[in-house]
């Protein structure tokens, strides 16, 4: 499931039942959202959409008392999912984990072709003799 579909599912489920649990959010978050700050941003955006987030599923009476969120169609949920993802994507570039920083940097470096690798190996071989 792509990140957009995962977020759309979360938003639709939250709108339908009026709430989400932290476990549901963790289960359906895109794989690249792992930092605590990013998860908190997603939860805040979900709250801003009128979807409450609980530690565990509340009882029906509590849901009825707190249910002031209107039901919305798929297009709106898709737009909201895209907004959440774009906001999270903007934060993905900010990391302090050195391994992530290295992997992100290496992902942008073009790899050598077979011919280029052979040419470099031959130059090294010649210079060592």
Domain spans, the chain: 3-95
Are the C-beta atoms of 46 and 6 separated by less than 8 Å? no
Q: Which helix (H) or strand (E) holds 88?
A: helix 74-92
Q: Integer distance in angstroms from the first to the last C-alpha of the chain?
A: 54
> Chain-wide mean pLDDT for the chain?
76
| Averaged pLDDT for residues 3-15 | 81
What are 104's two structure tokens?
């992100």
Residues contacting residue 93 through CB under 8 Å, at least 6 positions apart: none
115 vs 106, which has greater pLDDT? 115
Cα–Cα distance, 50 to 53 (Å, whole number): 10
The whole-angstrom distance between residue 62's C-alpha and the CA centroid of its chain comes to: 29
More confident residue, 98 or 125: 125
Contacts of 33 (CB under 8 A, 6+ apart): 39, 42, 88, 92
Higher pLDDT, residue 67 or 24: 24
* 32 touches 91 (CB < 8 A): no
Predicted confidence at residue 95, as pLDDT, reads 59
Residues 35-91: tens digit of each pLDDT: 777 888 888 888 888 888 888 887 765 555 554 444 445 566 667 666 666 665 555
pLDDT over 70, % of the chain: 66
Q: How confident is the model at residue 121 (pLDDT cuts 50, 70, 90)?
A: very high
On whether the CB atoms of residues 38 and 85 are closer than 8 A, the answer is: no
């Amino acid at each position: 499931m792509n990140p957009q579909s995962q977020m759309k599912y979360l938003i639709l489920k939250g709108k339908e039942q009026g709430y989400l649990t932290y476990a549901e959010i963790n289960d359906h978050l895109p794989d690249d959202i792992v930092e605590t700050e990013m998860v908190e941003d997603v939860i805040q955006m979900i709250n801003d959409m009128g979807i409450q987030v609980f530690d565990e599923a509340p009882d029906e009476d509590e849901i009825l008392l707190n249910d002031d969120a209107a039901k919305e169609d798929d297009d709106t949920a898709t737009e909201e999912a895209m907004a959440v993802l774009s906001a999270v994507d903007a934060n993905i570039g900010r990391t302090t984990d050195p391994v992530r920083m290295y992997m992100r940097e290496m992902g942008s470096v073009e790899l050598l072709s077979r011919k280029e690798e052979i040419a470099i190996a031959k130059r090294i071989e010649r210079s060592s003799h």
